[in-house]
Structure 1
Amino acid sequence: MKYKDINLKKATFTVIMITAGWSHSAYAQAYVKNDSGLSLTADRMDVKVMFYAPGIVRVVKYPAGKPFSKSSLAVIKKEQKTQFSISEKDGSIVLKSNALQLSIDAKTGKILYRSPLGQELLKEIGSSFRPFNDTGNQTYSVSQSFQLEKDEPIYGLGILQNGKMSQRNTDIKMIQNNTWDFVPFFQSVKGYGVFWDNYSPTQFTDTPQKTSFSSEVGEGVDYYFIYGKNADGVVAGMRNLTGKVPMIPLWTYGYWQSKERYKSQDELVDVVKKYRDLKVPLDGIIQDWQYWGNNYQWNAMDFISPDFPDAQKMIQNIHDKNAHLSVSIWSSFGPMTHPYREMDQKGMLFNFKTWPESGREVWPPDMNYPSGVRVYDAYNPEARNIYWKYLNKGLFSLGVDSWWMDSTEPDHLSQKPEDLDTKTYLGSFRKVRNAYPLMAVGGVYDHQRETTSDKRVFILTRSAFAGQQRYGANTWSGDVNSSWDMLRNQVPAGLNFSLTGNPNFNSDIGGFFAGVYKRNGGAKSPMFQELYVRWLQYGTFTPMMRSHGTDVPREIYQFGQKGDVVYDAIEKFIRLRYSMLPYIYSVSHNVSKNNSSFLRALSMDFSSDKKTWDINNEYLFGKSFLVAPVLHAQYTPEKIITTDENEGWDKKQGSVENAVSKVDFTQNKTVKVYLPAGADWFDFWTNEKHKGGQEIEKSVNLQSIPLYVKAGSIIPFGPDVQFATEKKWDDLTVKIYPGTDADFILYEDEFDNYNYEKGAFTEIPFHWNEKSKTLTIEAKKGKYNGMISERTFSLILPNGKQKTVDYSGKKINVNFK
């Protein structure tokens, strides 16, 4: 027999008795090389190693002789023909691409990963398969363990409310819920990442001895190893596997106002009107639940409630005020809705308990009147078609601009083990549990893209999974409570989520459950005011700036009027957000085109400074702004509050102890900030320059936070506007922060369609030459309808030097010597 293009090598092997478990060793019988990797049998396992790129490999292990067939829900890339070599050394099979080395133990099948230069990155220490009966399907519970270096920090795993930056010494059960969104992926400061491609409930455990993923259901071990050299490279690798990030509309980066809930169309429109009257910028308004009427009509995706008598007129009124409407939609339906009836006839509804349980709007739920609400099978493509059919008819056709997809985890109240036996289109709910948000969000994105390319999809969603970045989605951290401790948690939660490849994160500004503040004056309570302003300042430097919550209304006019210190602090940071839109939108382009990230853990850019490895209270916003939000109460007592989603609805909650009535928020306070080594830093407010690698003290009051700009940055600032597209960017202020060479690309397009995918956009590269003190504005690249042909740039240095230049798209040099 001849083998063409296949290298079959014989090796000795020992036949031994097969016993329970997979702990015994046997020599590899053979390995077979193909264009993308190899396969072999070792230790009663079939092992496949497949290159998806020179620095990305997929590893599949399963009991020898058993079938393994899987179509990934998260990974959309296919294995690639890759140049690599194979050799044998000391009982190992060694694979080398130009980006990665793998040594596979021929006896055990364990893999050791090294960089091209031989640096040890990660090694396997064991795989296991335990027989498992998954609702009649004989399969396995699977586990894979690795050995990390003792002091090696790792990041990722999703949105975790544990307050940690590095996730070493973490032990968590990964099953989607309201405030924890799980992505079974971590990356190391050493420049590699591991994606465990499994959707069932999974235990992630890290100890000094081992780091492991253990999942309830899987035909085999299935994971991807990504070597990207650094954090950006790993993120790029993850998006290479699971999908790139589309551009979302410019207006979504403006300010959003929301509450639980506006109870009529008049109230909703009036909020927009008040913002316009106050001349405070606003771009998004959100209508939360029950615009459909009662709970039996839950998520009808139609304005059935008599309090919303003319939805078309309401939406037009909002658009006439140059604002956009997002509407709450859910993963479940009440029995009196059209989607429920159609899906029920086709067996597309689940039977486990979900929110709301009662047909009556009372707490606790009155189970004498069960709501009958049921979650739909988002794994079923026909069910996703039906979902969009009613969404399009009831809301999108009226002009609703974006979707607030609540309960995309979905809400699963009872958490009974037998609930996981529920049959879905793709098998048991247990088998695909954690990928539900990916399927639900993806269904809406795909259908809207098929419907029109004139309006970009934007989805605000409560839950996420690997790959969700490809669906125009921004994930918020769920119904977190209004407390300082929870605010502190949001910073590392957003950073770790971003390190999984999902760049879009936000949280309810002020926290969702604020009942403990309600009896002490709500928005007039200094305790809530301080917390709210600090949360809003943090939210200014996240990909979505959205105020939302229950119990205490959050509109700016609830906090007083112009001239009041709290009101002015809120307005100041909303205006700062709008001035940064040219920077933010250009960063968005860099995220989409070049796989960058908005929220950047300090270790991403300063990994050589070990002090940054576990900092959980500072971060970069884009690559220029160092943000150190104030995360501790300075003027009022700090109360630790713990609330889950059920307790939060209990309106009998007590009030805040040690309430205060009057506070001087103008009094200066001092906070400590660490400035990473490897760069100099300019104080954004004062332009004072500081050396990196030191902790400094910064004086702040309620209207300021520590905010620094990295030396070697170029930042464009936009005009004073009431909404994102009110004025063209034909007169921008460009601040240059010298100290080293710097580059920035100013990006513009048509702002709310997909023409950019066809090349309808412009880029203006800026370059600062530190030695010659010259700013070069390169020739404009590209074009789009309505692009600016003539503009003015006001160029400013921290030392006060400034020059104004006219720019018509041709290269110019501006010398500052």
Structure 2
Amino acid sequence: MIDIMDRSFSKAFNDELLLVQAWGDNAIRIRSFVDMKYVDRFNALLDEPISSEKVVINKNMDGIELINGKIKVVLDHRNRLTFYNNNDQVLLKEYIRLRAVKHDDGSEDVGTVDITKDFNSTLKLKSREYRSNLCGNFQVITRFESEPKEKIFGMGQYQQQFLDLKNTILELAQRNSQASIPFYISSMGYGFLWNNPGIGEVSFAKNITRWKMYSSDYIDYVVISGDEPKEILRNYANMTGKVPQMPDKLLGLWQSKLRYRTAKEVVDVVNEYKRRGIQLSTIAIDYFHWPKQGEYRFDEEYWPNPQTLISRLKNNYCVEPLISIWPTVQTDAKNYEDYFENGYLVKVNRGVPVTMQIQGNTMFIDMTNSEARNYVWSLIKKNYVDIGARYLWLDVAEPGYSVYDFDNYRYKKGSDLYCGNLYPIGYLTMVYEGLKDHQSVVTLVRGSWAGAQRYGALLWSGDIDSSFEAFRNQINTGLNVGLAGLPWWTTDIGGFHGGNPKDPEFRELLIRWFQYATFSPILRMHGDRLPHSKPLSNHGGGSMVTGAPNEIWSYGEKVEELLVKYVKIREVLKPYISKLMNEAHQFGDPVMRTLFYEYSNDPDAWDIEDTYLLGDALLIAPIEYYQETSRPVYLPKGDKWIDVWREKEYEGGEKIIIQANINQIPVFIKASQKEEFADLFAVIKEEF
């Protein structure tokens, strides 16, 4: 049975209800409900957008088609969906391998048909498959035909070196340093959103593309057609929301370390930067500034008058304090019983309900529970916001379980397997709703999912290693985060785990990382440097160790001298970066962009990794290896490019070898926009 409406059609078939719907411009949303149990949910999507084009639905003997602008989908008599662009070229096709039962008259039994009328398969593979897990839900699999030459970009943050994700397998789950954002852009000319927040896996193999959920009862995805990646990503941003406006005051240097233990330490660091003539944007007051997790307040033994401190930082130094919070509560916190008795905690299916052990027995707060969020926000508002703090750092937001046993945790919204990727979204929503009337919300967060950008998510790369290998991974990772719809992204300069300020190799790593971060959305110092200092006391936040100093003067005079030069470069770039932040706010464009994002008609641009555009005018090619002083750089066709260090002009379409001693990161300016960067050339001439 097929039911046709103005902008959609549905088909009931055996145990499945299939809904095919025009969704905004040039996009189609597909939903499938097992046992025909329709539930209306948006997940990553905003309210249903209306297409500016007339939606056309045609029905014939072979099936039914829906046309929405530049995209068409056909549901054929095999119950298979095929998506086409406006040139009738196949974008994406469901994969089925079922045997046809043919009768003497040549007819086929509906429901037992294969991929072609002339091909019989004994594989018995359906494109949309529900297999009971005997726990009330299903293992859900969706299969698509694979184009081996296709390139796939986006999907969020994964700690590997690949920009092109074809032939990779990705876990659809949040972990420390991993953020699953299941939207990708294909070189075939489409974008794809997997709109199911459950825990699962996607395989972009050469022979098949397969999305797998471990415990679900529906399929939900959107396919977007477009003439170029920019059109596709902007359409996606219209569907899922755009970032707020990034304040200009946050575009300078962010200072952090593991961890400032007292108000005096914070003020001393800010004073040192002021003495050097450097205007900080933020300074972080990191974890365990509290007496106990879950109390959401300053430990007055070490932070005796936090309101005065915050006022002093903001009014005397024009520096915003960045307050770290965790979604956790210790069992010995003074308000633990409030969490426990009201059901605000994450539940477990087996074992003792302790999900982390840092500073004591610790449990996670259920951020899918609106009542729990309201309670936590009441504490944050009283103890942070009402005394002047306006920027929060949502650490451990995946949440950061000691063991990622996703099948063991339960939330108010459902099991972790069913909806686990919504956890950081709930956390971000709490902060956004609490702060949006005060300001444009910017929230540093360790965890994300599709749509997080509309809540002001500034994703960072998590607790990564302090090594050149980790650095190489971040460059392509940041680009894929942008193509997954999050324009704001940052890293710990130098990595998080380890790094001795006296080690020559680490000093070089820090320099190369700082150079790269200068040309990124947010310039942010952070890390757990070695050796650690002894605790201040044996109780509360004072019992926690702190890392070695991590300020720009902590690495010796030569390093400091060079980093100061790059801070000056960042200062003259701020008007340009502000313009890019406005583009992100208005259109959804990433701040850091792959070459093909701006040069989609250049085939070679689709093959370039570890090189990126900051906006549309600056091309950056980071130095990624220890003691490396040169590297190949490809310059996209269609423009001329100027080397900022030598002011030499190159024709686009060339691959050149560029020299870059320890003072330099290869940077090129689009020749047609040279005048916009007169201040950059002036700083380089003066400082280098």
Normalising by structure 2, report the TM-score. 0.88
Alignment match, 1:303 = 298
SS in 1 for 2:216: coil
Secondary structure of 2:93's counterpart equals: strand
Q: Is the 8 A contact 2:461 2:491 kept in 1?
A: yes
CA contact 1:254–1:578 (8 Å) conserved in 2: yes
Is the contact made by 1:100 and 1:114 (CA closer than 8 Å) also made in structure 2? yes
Residues 485-534 of structure 1: CA distance to partner in whole angstroms, max 9, x if unpaired? 100000111111110111111110000011xx4xxxx2232111100010
Query: Paired residue for 1:262?
Result: 260
1:43/1:616 CA distance change after superposition, 3 Å: farther
What do the CA deviations read for 1:79-102 (whole angstroms, capped 9, x no partner)? 536622223456132222222111
Within-5 A mapping of 1:800-815: none
Counterpart for residue 621 of structure 1? 614
1:397 matched to 2:359: no
Q: Which amino acid aligns with 1:671?
A: R
CA deviations on 1:542-589 (whole Å, 9 max, x unpaired) are: 11110100024320111223xx2x222211111111111111111111
The equivalent of 2:371 in structure 1 is 382
Aligned match for 1:350, one of 338, 346, 349: 346
2:576 equivalent to 1:576: no
Distance change (3 Å), C-alpha of 1:32 and 1:230: same
CA contact (8 A) 1:290 1:305 kept: no
In the alignment, what sits opposite 2:513? 535
CA distance in 2, matches of 1:66, 1:535: 52
**Separation in structure 2 between the aligned mates of residue 339 and residue 215 of structure 1, nearest angstrom:** 37
Write the mapping of 1:478-557 to structure 2, written as runs, cut at 5 A: 478-514=462-498, 517=499, 522-552=500-530, 553-557=549-553
Correspondence 1:415 to 2:404:
yes
- What amino acid is the match of 2:370? P
1:580–1:716: 8 Å Cα contact kept in structure 2?
Answer: no
Supply the distance in 1 between the matched residues of 2:262 and 2:464 (Cα, whole angstroms): 25
Which one-letter code corresponds to 1:689 in the other structure? E
Which aligned runs of 4 or more in structure 1 are off by greater than 6 angstroms? none
Q: What is the letter of the counterpart of residue 532 of structure 1?
A: L
CA distance in 2, matches of 1:262, 1:44: 58
Q: 277, 284, 287: which is aligned to 1:286?
A: 284
In the other structure, the counterpart of 1:130 is 131
Contact kept? 1:315, 1:400, Cα under 8 Å:
yes
- Do the aligned residues in 1 keep the contact of 2:356 with 2:401 (CA within 8 Å)? no
Structure 2: distance between partners of 1:524 and 1:507: 22
Which runs of no fewer than 5 residues in structure 1 stay unpaired? 1-29, 360-370, 636-668, 718-732, 737-795, 799-817
Following the alignment from structure 1 to structure 2, what is the Cα–Cα distance between the partners of residues 479 and 114?
42
2:111 aligns with: none
Alpha-carbon distance in 2 for matches of 1:418, 1:88: 43
* Pairs within 5 Å for 1:233-272: 233-272=231-270
Per the alignment, residue 608 of structure 1 pairs with 601
Distance 1:523 1:427 in 2: 46
Closer, same or farther in 2 for the Cα pair 1:507/1:299, shift >3 Å? farther
Residue 472 of structure 1 pairs with residue 456 of structure 2: yes
Residue 230 of structure 2 is matched in structure 1 by 232
Q: Given the superposition, is the C-alpha separation of residues 609 and 181 from structure 1 closer, same or farther in structure 2, using an over 3 Å criterion?
A: same
Amino acid in the other structure paired with 2:414: G
Question: Which residue does the alignment assign to 1:697?
Answer: 657
| From 619, 624, 634, the counterpart of 1:674 | 634
Q: How many angstroms apart in 1 are the aligned matches of 2:358 and 2:565?
A: 43
Tell me if the contact between 1:36 and 1:80 (Cα under 8 Å) persists in the aligned partners: no
Kindly state the Cα deviation for residue 595 of structure 1 after the two structures are TM-superposed.
Answer: 2.3
Aligned-residue offset at 1:714: 5.9
Aligned positions of 1:16-165 closer than 5 A = 30-42=1-13, 45-63=16-34, 65-78=35-48, 80=50, 83-88=54-59, 91-105=62-76, 107-125=77-95, 126-134=127-135, 138-165=136-163
Larger helix proportion of the pair = 2
**Contact 1:714–1:735 (CA under 8 A) maintained in structure 2:** no
Deviations 1:139-159 (A, max 9, x none): 222111112322110111110
Q: Distance in 2 between matches of 1:456 and 1:532?
A: 31
**Counterpart in the other structure of 1:4:** none
Q: Could you say if the C-alpha distance between residues 574 and 78 of structure 1 is closer, same or farther in structure 2, counting changes exceeding 3 Å?
A: same
Q: Report if aligned partners of 2:283, 2:322 keep a CA contact under 8 Å in 1.
A: yes
- Shift of the 61–715 alpha-carbon distance from structure 1 to 2, 3 Å rule, reads farther
Give the match for residue 806 of structure 1.
none
Corresponding position of 2:186: 188
CA distance in 1: counterparts of 2:61 and 2:493, whole angstroms: 58
* Residues 510 and 549, structure 1, Cα contact 8 Å, conserved in 2: yes
Aligned partner of 2:122 in structure 1 is: none
SS at match of 1:523: coil
Q: Which amino acid is the alignment partner of residue 357 of structure 1? A: Q
- Partners of 2:416 and 2:406 lie apart in 1 by 11
1:741-760 per-residue CA deviation (whole Å, 9 max, x = no partner) reads xxxxxxxxxxxxxxxxxxxx
Amino acid at match of 1:317: R
* Whole-angstrom distance in 2 between the partners of 1:539 and 1:357: 33
Which residue identity is paired with 1:381? S
Sort the Cα spacing of 1:694 and 1:77 in 2 relative to 1 into closer, same or farther, 3 A.
same
Separation in 2, partners of 1:627, 1:488: 14
- 1:43 and 1:153, CA in 2 relative to 1: closer, same or farther beyond 3 A? farther
C-alpha distance in 1 between matches for 2:389 and 2:322:
6
* Residue 115 of structure 1: how far off its partner (Å): 1.0
Compared with structure 1, are the counterparts of its residues 587 and 339 closer, same or farther at alpha carbon in structure 2 (3 Å cutoff)? Answer: farther
| Separation in structure 2 between the aligned mates of residue 504 and residue 60 of structure 1, nearest angstrom | 30
2:676 is equivalent to residue 707 of structure 1? no
CA distance in 1, matches of 2:462, 2:355: 14
Shift in alpha-carbon separation, 1:339–1:541, aligned structure 2, 3 A: farther
For residues 101 and 66 of structure 1, the distance between their equivalents in structure 2, rounded to whole angstroms, comes to 25
CA distance in 2, matches of 1:443, 1:205: 33
| Distance 1:191-1:711 versus aligned 2 partners, 3 A rule | farther
Cα distance in 2, alignment partners of residues 166 and 537 from structure 1: 24
Q: For residue 448 of structure 1, what is the amino acid of its counterpart? A: L
List gaps (5 residues or longer) in structure 2: 96-126, 531-548
Aligned-CA RMSD value: 2.1
Question: Is contact 2:595-2:611 (8 Å) kept?
Answer: yes
Larger RCO (CA under 8 A, 6+ residues apart): 2
Contact 2:155 2:484 in 1 (8 A): yes
- Letter paired with 2:612: Y
What CA distance in whole angstroms lies between the structure 2 residues aligned with 1:354 and 1:621? 44
Tell me how far apart the structure 2 counterparts of residues 560 and 291 of structure 1 sit (CA, whole Å): 29
1:326 alignment partner in structure 2: 322
Q: Aligned partners of 1:256, 1:99: CA distance in 2, in Å? A: 43
- Sequence identity (%): 29
Number of residue pairs the alignment of both structures matches: 628
* Alignment match of 2:554 (pick from 534, 553, 558): 558
For residues 86 and 405 of structure 1, the distance between their equivalents in structure 2, rounded to whole angstroms, comes to 46
Q: Which residue of 2 aligns with 1:341?
A: 337
- Alignment of 1:596 with 2:574, yes or no, is no
The secondary structure found in structure 1 opposite 2:201 is strand
CA shift for structure 1 position 481: 0.6
* Cα-to-partner distance string for 1:35-58 (whole Å, 9 max, x where unaligned): 221112346532111111131111
